[in-house]
């Protein structure tokens, strides 16, 4: 069959032939129609992500939309290695297949699943949205951050606060539901004080952080110290991604004085069963609420060209005719 194949870690996958998968007991053969490329997929493909454990050659891709041999239209996740989702076919455990919702096209569904998981799991399980507490999203102009803005509003957050470096893109988040927008520009002292003021006025109860790095340090400092906006009340701070850097400098005094709860979300932070259930809930909400997501769609045969030249403002999706 045709597939995107990783033949050497650290090199982009290439279009070519790969062995045909054969389902075992408890598995289903899926004819793939669309699969998206997220940071997780890229990280596992290169061997850089902490969950990467495949040895070349293998097919990357962790989820997608497709059909079973009986024509059932499904979303699937975590195909059996080495048969990833970026192929004509893959094999998936029956427990990791669910009916795909009607309405959105397959490319949009495939594109939405991963960014949806990154915010749906935190905002429904780790730090559920509360009707009297605002949600702050740090790094809200990426695909996942834009989805988080929409999901927070959908789940009933009375106020959604967005931060980002690109002020033009940040302003456009108002259309998605971000009623407060804070430019992430130096000096960090000014950014920190703005966050502290807004957190007090809007009663921030949850932070979703897609950046890490210096802005995270500033936000944590804004939530702590003698001028902490919520005093002894707790703020759930969920680390989602590390776009701005892998580490931060964190004073113990910030945690002691703020009541901040530091949480993480990703593979390993929740069971695969819970992650899969959450994705199912999100996809139904995605279809019902018609959340917006920008996609960059290419046939799988163009993976050699499109893998490294994708539009960063859109979710890269490969389709199989």
The answer to whether residue 47 scores a pLDDT higher than 90 is: no
Same domain for 184 and 299?
A: no
Q: What values do phi and psi take at 112, rounded to 5?
A: -80, -25
97 shares its domain with 213 = no
For residue 49, is it within any domain? yes
Asked, for residue 241, whether it belongs to a domain, the answer is yes
Mean pLDDT over residues 123-132, rounded? 95
> Which is nearest to 97 in space by CA: 107, 85, 112?
85
Higher pLDDT, 287 or 231: 287
Tell me what pLDDT residue 106 has.
98
Q: Say what the pLDDT of residue 220 is.
A: 94
For strands 295-299 and 315-319, give the pairing. Answer: parallel
Report if residue 6 sits inside a domain. yes
pLDDT band at 230 (very low <50, low <70, confident <90, very high): low
pLDDT at 313: 76
* Model confidence, pTM: 0.92
The single-letter DSSP state of residue 50 is T
Say yes or no: 260 and 118 in one domain.
Answer: yes
Position 314 in a domain: yes
Q: Whole domain around residue 306: which residue ranges?
A: 2-104+294-319
- pLDDT tops 90 at residue 188: yes
Per-residue pLDDT tens over the stretch 18-43: 999 999 999 999 999 999 999 889 98
Q: What pLDDT is recorded for position 271?
A: 76
Clarify whether residues 301 and 254 are in a common domain: no
CA 307/CA 195 separation, integer angstroms: 37
pLDDT on residue 45 = 83
Query: What whole-number distance in Å separates Cα of residue 253 and Cα of residue 224?
Result: 8
- The arithmetic mean of pLDDT across residues 238-261, rounded, is 86
Within a domain: 289 = no
Same-domain pairing of 226 and 156: yes
Higher pLDDT, 276 or 231: 276
State yes or no: pLDDT of 288 exceeds 60. yes
Domain match, 19 and 73 both:
yes
Q: Of the candidates 215, 211, 212, 172, which has an alpha carbon nearest to the alpha carbon of residue 190?
A: 215
Q: Do residues 239 and 300 both lie within one domain? A: no
Cα distance from N-terminal residue to C-terminal residue, the chain: 13
Taking residues 79-87, what's their average pLDDT? Answer: 96
Percentage of the chain exceeding pLDDT 70: 95
**Given this model, what pLDDT does residue 48 score?**
64
The CATH number linked to 155 is: 3.90.180.10
**Looking at the 3D structure of the chain, how many domains does it have?**
2
pLDDT for residue 232 is more than 70 = no
- Domain assignment present for 58: yes
- Report the C-alpha gap between 27 and 89 in whole angstroms: 13
DSSP, residue by residue, 252-318: HHHHHHH-EEEEE-SBTTB-HHHHHHHHHHHHHHHHHHT----EEEEEGGGHHHHTTS--TTSEEEE
Banded model confidence at residue 239, pLDDT cuts 50, 70, 90: very high
- Compute and round to an integer the Cα radius of gyration of the chain: 20
- Residue 14 and residue 156 in one domain: no
């Amino acid at each position: 069959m045709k597939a995107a194949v990783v033949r050497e870690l650290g090199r982009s996958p290439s279009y070519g032939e790969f062995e045909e998968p054969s389902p075992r007991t408890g598995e289903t053969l899926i004819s793939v129609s669309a699969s998206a490329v997220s940071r997780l997929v890229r990280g596992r493909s290169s061997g850089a992500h902490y969950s990467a454990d495949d040895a070349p050659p293998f097919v990357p891709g962790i989820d997608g939309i497709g059909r079973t041999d009986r024509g059932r239209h499904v979303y699937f996740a975590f195909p059996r290695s080495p048969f990833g989702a970026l192929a004509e076919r893959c094999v998936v455990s029956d427990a990791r297949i669910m009916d795909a919702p009607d309405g959105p096209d397959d490319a949009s569904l495939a594109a939405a699943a991963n960014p949806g998981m990154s915010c749906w799991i935190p905002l429904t399980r780790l730090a559920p949205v509360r009707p009297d507490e605002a949600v702050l999203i740090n790094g809200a102009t990426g695909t996942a951050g834009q989805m988080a803005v929409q999901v927070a509003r959908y789940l009933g957050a009375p106020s959604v606060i967005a931060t980002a470096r690109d002020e033009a893109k940040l302003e456009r988040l108002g259309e998605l539901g971000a009623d407060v927008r804070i430019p992430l520009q130096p000096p960090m002292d000014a950014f920190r004080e703005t966050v502290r003021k807004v957190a007090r006025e809007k009663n921030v109860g949850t932070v979703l952080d897609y950046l890490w790095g210096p802005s995270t340090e500033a936000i944590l400092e804004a939530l702590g110290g003698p001028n902490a906006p919520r005093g002894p009340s707790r703020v759930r701070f969920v680390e989602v991604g590390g776009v701005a850097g892998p580490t931060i400098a964190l004073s113990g005094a910030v945690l002691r004085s703020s009541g901040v709860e530091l949480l993480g979300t990703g593979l390993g932070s929740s069971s695969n069963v819970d992650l899969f259930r959450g994705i199912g809930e999100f996809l139904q909400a995605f279809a019902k609420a018609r959340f917006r997501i920008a996609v960059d769609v290419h046939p799988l045969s163009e993976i050699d060209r499109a893998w490294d030249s994708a539009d960063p403002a859109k979710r890269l999706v490969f389709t199989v005719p």
